[in-house]
Amino acid sequence: MKIAVIGTGYVGLVTGVALSEIGHVVTCIDVDPSKVEKLSKGIPTIYEPGLEELIKKNISSGNLHFTSEHQNGLPDAEVVYIAVGTPQRADGAANLDYVEQAALDIAANIKQNIIVVIKSTVPVGTNFHIKNLINQHTTNGVHVKIASNPEFLREGSAVKDTFHGDRIVIGTEDEESAEILAQINEPFDTPIIKTDISSAEMIKYSSNAFLATKISFINEIANLCESMGANVEEVAKGMGLDHRIGPDFLKAGIGYGGSCFPKDTNALVQLAGNANHEFNLLKSVIEVNNNQQVLLLDKILNRFGNIQGKRVAVLGLAFKPNTDDLRESPALVMIPKLVSLGVSVIAYDPIAVNNARKQLGTEISYTEDLTEALKNADFTVIITDWPEVKKADLSTYNQLMKEPIVFDGRNCYDLDEVKKATMEYYSIGRPDQAPELIS
C-alpha cells in the first residue's frame, strides 16, 4: 500500500521505516530540507538502535522515500499518517498547531479518497476536529476518513517495540477503515485492539499517566524507606511478584523524563480540567516527580554544606539510556542548580553530548570518556544508568576521584559490592554507605 507519513521526528521516522520494512511503499515528509537530505542518504537524525540499518535497507529496496515537498508524497497516498509534535503549552495543554498545519497540507494536496491516521499524541476530540478541518479545505470532492493509531514506543527500544509490541490500538468511525488499518499492521504480528476514536485517544494518555503514577509511587515509597531504614529494592521486589502489580516501573530513582510522560501527564490534567474534573491523583504524581528530580541536591548539601569551588562529575545527560534525547531529563534541572552553587561540572554521556551543549551551553565541560569525567572529581552524581556506568569497576572511583563519594540517582550498584569498595555512596531509598556507617 502507498503510505505517506508527515513528520520525521521520533514517532514519524520509526513509523515510516517500520511500515516500509513490512512491505509498504512509504514517503516520509518533513518541512526541514536538511533533515530530508540526511535521511535520503541513510543518515538517521535521531539515535535509536537498529534504525540506521533499516533506513538504508529500505531506501535501497525502493520502499522508503523522503521529501520536503507535500506534493511529492501526498497525491498518490492511500493512507496518510500524521506524526508531528504536540509540544506542551504554558498551561499544560497540548499544542496542536503542527497537527492542524499537517491537516491543511493534506487538504491542499490529496487527489483521492484517503484514510488520515493520527499517530501524534492528541487530546480526546482532536481526530474529529482534524477531519472537519481537512474537509473544510479540500476543493476536489475527495472523501476523508479519520483514524487514531497512538504509538507506544519506548525511546531506546522503539524498533523492537514496533515489531514486537504489546498491542496496536486502532480507533475508527467505521469497520472498513478498521479492517484496512488492521491489514496494514498485520505483518507486525502484534495483537490489534479496535475501538472507537475517542477511546483510542484516551488509551494513550491513560497508559502513560498510569506508568508515571507507578514511578512516582515507588519514589515516594523510596523516600519513606530512607526515613525508616528499609530498602526500596527489596520492597519493590516483594510488591512486583504480585501479578496484579507487576515488577515493571517499580524502580526508584530521580524521576521520569523524556518526551511523553511529563507532557502527557500535564495534558491529561488540563484535559480533565476542561471537563470540570479535578485529577488530584495525577497532580500529585507530577508534584512528586518535580521534587524527585532535585532530591540528590539535598543529599549533596546535607553531606557537604558548602560546595562552592568543588569539581563534580555528572554521569549521564540523556533522560534514559540508549537515546540522545534530553527532553525533561533530570540533568537539565540538576546541572544549572549545581553551577549556581559555584560547582565546576564535567558531564559525561556516550551519546547525548552534542544535544546537551545546545541546551546547557558552555558553563560546563563535556566528555564521552567516563574516566576523564571522574578524574580529580570531589564527588560524582549519576543521572543516567548507562551500561558503561552500571558496569564500571567500582575501584575506578577510588583510583580517579579525589575521594570516592558518589550520589547515585539510579541505584546502579549493589550495596554489597559498594561495601567491598569502601566508597562513600548515597542512593535512592536504600541505606547510605558512608565510611562511618561501614566501619
Lowest model confidence (mean pLDDT) among 79-93, 239-253, 309-323: 79-93
Second-level CATH architecture of 293-438: 3-Layer(aba) Sandwich (3.40)
Q: For the chain, percent helix, then strand, then coil, each to nearest 5? A: 45, 15, 40
**pLDDT tens digits for 14-28?**
999 999 999 999 999
What band does 140 get if pLDDT is binned at 50, 70 and 90? confident
* Residue 381 CB contacts under 8 Å (≥ 6 apart), including other chains: 296, 300, 312, 313, 314, 315, 334, 338, 406, 407, 409
Classify domain 2-194 by CATH architecture.
Answer: 3-Layer(aba) Sandwich (3.40)
Q: What are the residue ranges spanned by the domains of the chain?
A: 2-194, 204-291, 293-438
Structural contact between residues 26 and 20, judged by C-beta atoms closer than 8 angstroms: yes
Across 374-388, average pLDDT: 97
- Binding annotation: 30, 35, 86, 121, 152-155, 204, 249-253, 257, 263, 320, 327
Share of the chain above pLDDT 70, in %: 99
pLDDT at 32: 95
Strand ranges for 55-104 from DSSP E: 64-67, 79-82
The confidence score (pLDDT) of residue 26 equals 98
Instruction: Indicate whether 437 pLDDT > 70.
Output: no
Average pLDDT of the residues in 212-225: 97
> Is the predicted pLDDT of residue 147 greater than 90, yes or no?
yes
CB atoms within 10 A of CB 374: 22
Residue 439 binned pLDDT confidence (cut-offs 50, 70, 90):
very low
**Whether the domain at 204-291 and the domain at 293-438 fall into the same CATH topology:** no
Question: Cell numbers at residue 82, please?
Answer: 500524521
Q: Are 379 and 346 in contact (CB under 8 A)?
A: no
- Assign domain 204-291 to a CATH class: mainly alpha
Helix, strand or coil, per DSSP, at residue 173: coil
Q: What is the mean pLDDT of the chain?
A: 94
Determine whether 28 is an active site residue: no
- 191-203 pLDDT, tens digit each: 999 999 999 999 9
Check if the beta carbon of residue 112 is closer than 8 Å to that of residue 140.
no
Residue among 28, 225, 260, 412 flagged as catalytic: 260
Question: At residue 171, does pLDDT exceed 60?
Answer: yes
Confidence label for 438 from pLDDT (cuts 50, 70 and 90): very low
* The amino acid at 327: R
